[in-house]
Homo-oligomer: A and B are copies of this chain.
Amino acid sequence: MYRAPVDEIAFTLNHVTGMKQALEAGRYGDLSADLVDAILAEAGRFAAEEIVPLAKIGDEQGAVWKDGEVTMPKGWGDLYRAWCEGGWNGLAAPEEHGGQGLPMTLLVATQEMWNSASMAFALCPTLTQGAIEAVEAHASEELKQKYLEKLVSGEWNGTMNLTEPQAGSDLNALTARAERSEDGSYRIFGQKIFITFGEHDMTDNIVHLVLARLPDAPKGTKGISLFLVPKYLVNDDGSIGARNDVFCASIEHKLGIHASPTCTMIYGDGRFGEEKGAIGWLVGEENRGLACMFTMMNNARLAVGMQGVAIAEAAYQRALAYAQERRQGRAPGASSEGMSPIVEHPDVARMLLTMKAMTQASRAITYSCAHAIDMARLSEGDEARHWQERANLLTPLAKAFPTDIGVEAASLGVQVHGGMGFIEETGAAVLYRDARIAPIYEGTNGIQAIDLVMRKLPQSGGDHVRGFIKELRETAERVRGANMAELADTGNLLIESLDHLQETTDFLMSQTGEGAMEKALSGATPYLRLFALAAGSTLLAGGAVSASDAKMASLTRYLAENHLRETAGLRQAVIDGGESLKAAASLFAA
């Protein structure tokens, strides 16, 4: 069913993100455009031919828990190992540890494909990727030597253990504890919930990265340390040793991503030996765990954003195929005899175009974020700071907007199928179910909006965001001046939306004094959507002009004329809405 959208991805890489120029300028070393194409083609093949056929059994059987062990759906272990053997797990990992050291832009392009094929499958490597980054950046040389190669090959997978029942988004409330041992290791105790792939039978070992508090740690988030806790201890020769004191007490019964085990993990209750406490090793410094965790979290947020893009793409492809096949009624101006394919009915075409345009706008934002991460890594000094700030700014946009679009597109995808969409066997409903988690995990989209307003707008005293908006304006002017009939009035509509972005940005940054924070927080969610709509549309239009791509121009015009003026309403919600929100919220005081 799924075909990797290599044209759309290539368009985004080459004409939206600036990767093409960077490639041509030799910024990526000896990486060539041909190699990029070859990688994308092979990833697309693997996703479509190897993963897709096992996606359905994954949803139907799901991961199954029994006595602390989790059995994966039939065929998934082999699939995972074949995928690792293809070298996909280490695509962006350091070469010195067996990775391929390829850019983040390529990583997200492949992530998109894995997730379109099966979001549940793609989750395991996504978490491993985060673990690799944290260990690479913060762990001791000894830990790196012991764990990195296996994590990079995918022989072992990694997990992130933040959440506890009383501490979801708020890490202040974290209570898992760590005790120092004499040999320099630590003993970890506590319960963690919502641990993705915390237990399963696809790998020989599982490497947990766990946040916990030392006995003498300060209160709050400044007293949190990060520990590496393997399921099985690892001998000095790299072989698997004794079972560590951590186990999976249960997995959740979820709306979607059934084949991704969501585990409750118990550390240190003495189940596997006399002595209690899961043995762990410090990653980074004591009490500085949060900084280490953020290394994992930023890229994880982008990866979740890719899930949104991926689900939207998959939903679009399914809906389009159905709409081209299914015949009902006669479309206005239908040329053929008899019933028309429903794609010819304007309201069906509208749904499909909305899905496609929003998907492409999401791609523009996420891939631009990945490009900024690459450029930050490849640059130094002011240039590196510029790109790091760009990546920081785009991360909440790249996480929240595409995952909202994922839900909206999956919902439209069901709708295009009519009654068939509600039948599980059709394959549209599972996307609607899977999509729903992405706006929630890795920081809810509400938290992303707060991050955008409270932490990202103030970067460099506001200069960074102002510079970005200026760039967008220049692009919009270029679109307005371009001689492409397909764009019609798009340039002016972009500028209008960028005016809204400018006004709301100024409004949020100018809040001071009492109630300032509340006002900023009240407007954060509509502001994020406004930002993403204006930026995504502008990036897309700029790409269409650069590439002289008539089809993409036509799609962008559809987006601008049918959806972009949503920014007028969002602008109002940001600027005027806060007071009425506060007034009406008193309803809840009861």
Using a CB–CB cutoff of 8 Å, the interface residues on chain A facing chain B are: 163, 167-170, 172-173, 193-194, 252-256, 320, 323-324, 328-329, 332-333, 339, 343, 345-353, 356-357, 407, 411, 414-415, 418-419, 421-425, 429, 432-433, 436-437, 439-441, 444-446, 449-450, 486, 488-489, 515, 517-518, 521-522, 524-526, 551, 554-555, 557-558, 560-569, 572-573, 576-588
Interface centre among A170, A172, A561, A563 (most CB of B within 10 A): A561
- A530 CB to nearest B CB, Å: 12
Give the nearest-CB partner of A582 in chain B. B346
Whether the Cβ atoms of A577 and B562 lie closer than 8 Å is yes
Evaluate contact between A585 and B339: CB separation under 8 angstroms: no
Closest chain B residue to A576, Cβ basis: B561
A518 CB to nearest chain B CB (Å): 4
Cα A194 to Cα B437 in complex, Å, equals: 29
Interface centre among A422, A432, A567 (most CB of B within 10 A): A422
Interchain CB contact under 8 A, B449 and A347: yes
A255 to chain B, nearest CB (A): 4
**Complex Cα distance A561/B524, Å?**
15
* B569/A566 in contact, CB under 8 A: yes
Which residue of B255, B576, B580 contacts A432 across the interface (Cβ within 8 Å)?
Answer: B255
Q: Which of B353, B522, B569 contacts A584 (CB 8 A)?
A: B353
Q: Which residues of B contact A488 (CB under 8 A)?
A: 579-580
21 contacts between A and B (CB under 8 A): A167-B328, A332-B521, A343-B585, A345-B446, A346-B582, A348-B446, A352-B588, A357-B584, A407-B411, A411-B411, A411-B436, A415-B445, A419-B440, A422-B437, A429-B436, A561-B573, A562-B580, A565-B568, A565-B573, A566-B566, A569-B569
Question: Would you call B424 and A436 a contact (CB within 8 A)?
Answer: no
Q: How far is the CA of A79 from the CA of B511 in the complex (A)?
A: 56
- Select A561's contact among B419, B557, B580, beta carbons within 8 Å: B580
Whole-angstrom CA separation of A518 from B560 in the bound complex: 20
A557 to chain B: closest residue by CB: B580
Query: Across the interface, do B422 and A432 meet the contact criterion of CB distance under 8 Å?
Result: no
CA distance A199 to B253 in the complex (A): 30
Q: Is the CB of A433 within 8 A of B349?
A: no
- How many Å from the CB of A321 to the closest CB on chain B? 11
| Nearest residue, chain B, Cβ from A493 | B572
Is B588 in contact with A320, judged by CB distance below 8 angstroms? yes
What is the bound-complex CA distance between A329 and B172, given in angstroms?
8
Provide the bound-state CA to CA distance between A575 and B255, in Å.
Answer: 39
Contact present for B343 and A588 (CB under 8 Å)? yes
Chain B residue contacts of A345, Cβ below 8 A = 446, 521
Q: Pick from B254, B256, B551: contact of A587, CB below 8 A.
A: B551
- When the two chains form their complex, are residues B554 and A586 in contact, meaning their CB atoms are under 8 A apart? yes
Expressed in whole angstroms, the Cα–Cα distance for A432 and B440 within the complex equals: 15
Say how far A390's CB is from chain B's closest CB, in angstroms: 25
A95 to B439 Cα, complex, angstroms:
51
Asked if B581 and A350 sit within 8 Å, CB to CB, the answer is yes
Q: Which residue of B lies closest to A353 (CB)?
A: B584
Cβ of A350: which chain B residues have Cβ within 8 Å of it? 522, 525, 581
Which of B170, B432, B551, B579 is in CB contact (< 8 Å) with A436?
B432
A252 to chain B, nearest CB (A): 5
Distance to closest chain B CB from A466 (angstroms): 24
Q: Flag if A418 contacts B444 (CB, 8 Å).
A: yes
How many Å lie between the Cα of A555 and that of B572 in the bound state? 16
Minimum-distance CB pairs A-B, first 7: A565-B569, A347-B446, A558-B584, A349-B585, A255-B429, A346-B522, A332-B518
Q: How long is the Cα–Cα vector from A569 to B568 in the complex, in angstroms? A: 7
- A554's nearest neighbour on chain B, judged by CB, is B584
Contacts of A517 in B (CB 8 A): 332
Among B445, B568, B588, the residue within 8 A (CB) of A349 is B588
Complex-state Cα separation, A415 to B446, whole angstroms? 9
Instruction: List the B side residues contacting A343 at CB < 8 Å.
Output: 585, 588
**Docked pose: A432 CA to B356 CA in angstroms:** 23
Q: B586 to A423, Cβ gap below 8 A?
A: no
Inter-subunit contact A418/B440 (CB<8 Å): yes
**Residue ID in chain B nearest A587 by CB atoms:** B551
| Chain B residues in 8 Å Cβ range of A357 | 584
Kindly provide the distance from the CB of A367 to the nearest chain B CB, expressed in whole angstroms: 21
**Candidates B173, B526, B565, B566; contact of A562 at CB < 8 Å:** B526
- A135 CB, nearest partner CB in chain B, Å: 25
Q: What residues of chain B lie closer than 8 Å to A584, measured between beta carbons?
A: 349, 353, 357, 554-555, 557-558
Q: Is the CB of B356 within 8 A of A587?
A: yes
List 8 other contacts, CB 8 Å, given A332-B515, A429-B436.
Answer: A255-B433, A345-B446, A346-B524, A347-B446, A347-B521, A347-B524, A564-B569, A565-B569
CB-CB under 8 A from A440, the residues of chain B are 414-415, 418-419, 421-422
Are B558 and A569 in touch, CB under 8 angstroms? Answer: no
Chain B residues, Cβ within 8 Å of A422: 252, 254-256, 436-437, 440
Partner of A572, one of B254, B565, B586: B565
Chain B residues contacting A194 (CB-CB under 8 Å) are 419
**A424 and B521 contacting across the interface, CB-CB below 8 Å:** no
Query: In whole angstroms, how far apart are the Cα atoms of A320 and B586 in the complex?
Result: 13
A436-B411, A566-B569 as given contacts; A333 in contact with B518, CB under 8 Å: yes
Closest to A340 in B: B170
